[in-house]
Amino acid sequence: MAIDDILTGCEGKMRKAEEVLKDDLAAIRTGRASPGLVKNIRVDYHGVSVPLNQVAGITVPEARTLVIQPWERDVISGIEKAIMKSDLGLTPSSDGNVIRLSIPQLTEERRSQLVKMVRKRVEEGKVAVRNVRREGLEKLRQLKESKEISEDEQKRAINRLQLLTDRFTGEIDQVAKEKEAELLEF
């Protein structure tokens, strides 16, 4: 296994960790509506658990309203139940064709709870990136021990791996900063 293969693999895993974090943070409710709030809610669809965005269209007609348009009318009750069971704290209202979700204004206490949740998840994302770095370091150490690369090559590769790690932790910090600002705005 070549150094470039190891670094490319690490970069892909770090990118994936960042994407998972972004998806996770998109589901954290702010004071405004976003399809990301509900897209990962799982709905019972003919005995199979599927993500909501696979059985319905999700739109944002107003800043504080989400409209969920199921592709089949018989799924409406399943969607309502799934939303009620989720930890969003939202109550769906249905007219038989579409489901509307009104997003209430966040209280100051709830905002601070959400910021703490964001920070916890961001730290988990950074830990995932550092775990990828650790795996990469181990692979580089194995290459050096098996004499496939020299000590100088290993040091240069370790520096490149650290630069990757720094880049992704910086991007994660930026994502966190944006989400916290979004949560704290009125």
CATH of the domain at 174: 1.10.132.20
pLDDT greater at residue 87 or residue 35: 35
Instruction: Evaluate whether 161 touches 139 at the Cβ level (below 8 Å).
Output: no
Question: 1-15, pLDDT tens digit by residue?
Answer: 688 899 999 999 999
Q: With a threshold of 0.85, does the pTM exceed it?
A: no
Segment holding 65, helix H or strand E? strand 65-70
DSSP secondary structure code for residue 67 in this structure: E
- Which residue, of 76, 102, 128, is where some domain finishes? 102
Residues with Cβ < 8 Å from 16, sequence gap 6 or more?
none
Are 174 and 134 found together in one domain?
Answer: yes
How far, in Å, CA of 161 to CA of 7, rounded?
6
Q: Which residues pair with 50 in a beta bridge?
A: 43
Distance CA 125, CA 121 (A): 6
For the chain, give the mean pLDDT. Answer: 86
pLDDT at 111: 80
What's the pLDDT at 186?
59
Residues 49 and 82 in one domain: yes
- Each residue of 140-160: pLDDT tens digit? 999 999 988 898 999 999 999
| Whether residue 119 is found in the same domain as residue 173 | yes
Q: Are 55 and 75 within 8 A, CB to CB?
A: yes
106 vs 99: CA distance, rounded Å: 21
Residue-level pLDDT at 11:
94
Range of the domain at 43: 35-102
Domain final residue, candidates 77, 102, 127: 102
Asked if residue 112 and residue 22 are part of one domain, the reply reads: yes
DSSP at 106: P
Domain end call among 58, 75, 102: 102
The CATH code of the domain that includes 56 is 3.30.1360.40
Domain count for the chain, please give it: 2
128 and 89 inside one domain? no
- Predicted confidence (pLDDT) per residue in 59-113, tens digit: 888 877 888 888 888 888 888 888 888 767 778 888 888 888 888 777 788 788 8
